[in-house]
Amino acid sequence: MVFTVPELMELAERLAGVEGFVPKQLLNRPPAVLATLLAGHELGLPPVSALRGIHVIEGRVTLSASVASALVYAAGHRMDVTVYEDGEVAVRGRRRDETNWTPVSWTWGRAQRAKLTGKQVWVQYPRQMLSARAHTELCRLKFSDVLFGLEIAPDLEGEIAPDATVEEKPRKTTTRKANVKAPEIVPSAPAPEAQAPPMESVVEGTPPEPEEVKALPPWQRKLHARMGDVFPDVDTETRDAYRHAIVAVLTRHRPDGSVESSSELTEPERLGFDSLLDSVQTGDTLIARLESGTVEIRRSGWCYRLEFDPLAVTAIREAG
């Protein structure tokens, strides 16, 4: 959908006071909301994506790592994650007219030398933060034209950390079940710095598809393949739980309630699914499965708790 400037001005006025939808730094500031929407319009981003992924820091328009990655994918270029560990995240990228890959690696040791690891978010979520740094560097190195030369938020002093790193203090709930404070998800301590494996050792593609996946429509097969790329180190049961949880979150506003089967996704919901996976890869969204089988998804200042059998979605607003 294409908006005119007057339409964006009216939209900014209407959205500026919507708490929980507009980022807190833009709340009740229509001119700041308009500036964000205009920047997104120039990049071809819809208003919601612009509000979530564009930041104005000291007068400079910057992109979140997830939006930068989404623009790169939309332009037809490729980025893959080849190592995803607490001590190292390695990615590689190539332009759509190239055959050679350009690798980028961020290790815990490199982050220490850059004096980043003293922040609590780095201690709690080392892989996600290393991933954001690696994707940021790769986007700037290979795809700056796609980003129109704009900076990416993690490049700046006082980087913008994922909202999920805020200490959890539930205060506003939309739920069909009792609201219970979510346990803190803390990954294991960072592993010692390790050398990235040679890029030649990375095998292209995904494992052979199971027969039941081969029978699915092409878009659904692609969805399953992306799940394997984004979550290569989890077992099939956990990966399926993640997929059902993401579907449930994306469909939670349906009149008849959430569904968990990806076959029921509409076209806009499929795009939302792909966008959410992009944000997982860049560390802007966190997802974990608890021992109870409950899945938690943290993004944009909210924690979504998914319980199955029966399906229930609890949305918890995290303290800002």
- CA pair distance 22, 44, nearest whole angstrom: 19
90 and 205 co-located in one domain: no
For residue 98, give its domain range: 68-161
Please report the pLDDT score of residue 102 as a whole number: 93
Residue 14 binned pLDDT confidence (cut-offs 50, 70, 90): confident
Average pLDDT on 280-306 reads: 83
Per-residue confidence (pLDDT) for residue 92, from 0 to 100: 92
310 cis-preceded (ω within 30 degrees of 0)? yes
Residue with tokens 């209407």: 14
Any domain includes 232: yes
Clarify whether residues 140 and 258 are in a common domain: no
In tens, the pLDDT along 87-124 reads 899 999 999 888 899 999 999 999 898 888 888 888 88
The answer to whether residue 6 scores a pLDDT higher than 90 is no
Report the pLDDT averaged over residues 130-155.
Answer: 83
pLDDT tens-digit readout, 165-207: 233 334 344 444 444 444 444 444 444 444 433 333 333 333 4
**Rounded Cα gap, residues 304 and 287, in angstroms:** 9
Distance CA 12, CA 10 (A): 5
Rounded Cα–Cα distance for residues 128 and 135 (Å): 11
Residues 150 and 117 in one domain: yes
What per-residue confidence (pLDDT) applies to 104? 92
pLDDT of 238 higher than 80: yes
Q: What is the pLDDT of residue 68?
A: 85
Asked if residue 168 belongs to a domain, the reply is no
Domain finish residue from 161, 184, 206: 161
Categorize the per-residue pLDDT at 266 as very low, low, confident or very high, splitting at 50, 70 and 90: confident
Give residue 158's pLDDT band: very low, low, confident or very high (50, 70, 90): very low
Together in a domain, 80 and 193: no
Q: How many CB atoms neighbour CB 309 within 10 A? A: 6
Maximum CA pair distance of the chain?
Answer: 54
pLDDT of residue 212: 56
Do 195 and 311 sit in the same domain of this protein?
yes
Co-location of 129 and 222 in the same domain: no
Q: How many residues does the chain have?
A: 320
In a domain, 29, yes or no: yes
Structurally, the chain folds into a number of domains equal to: 3
Same domain? For 275 and 148 the reply is no
The pLDDT assigned to 105 comes to: 92
Question: Average pLDDT in the 147-167 region?
Answer: 51
Calculate the average pLDDT of the chain.
76
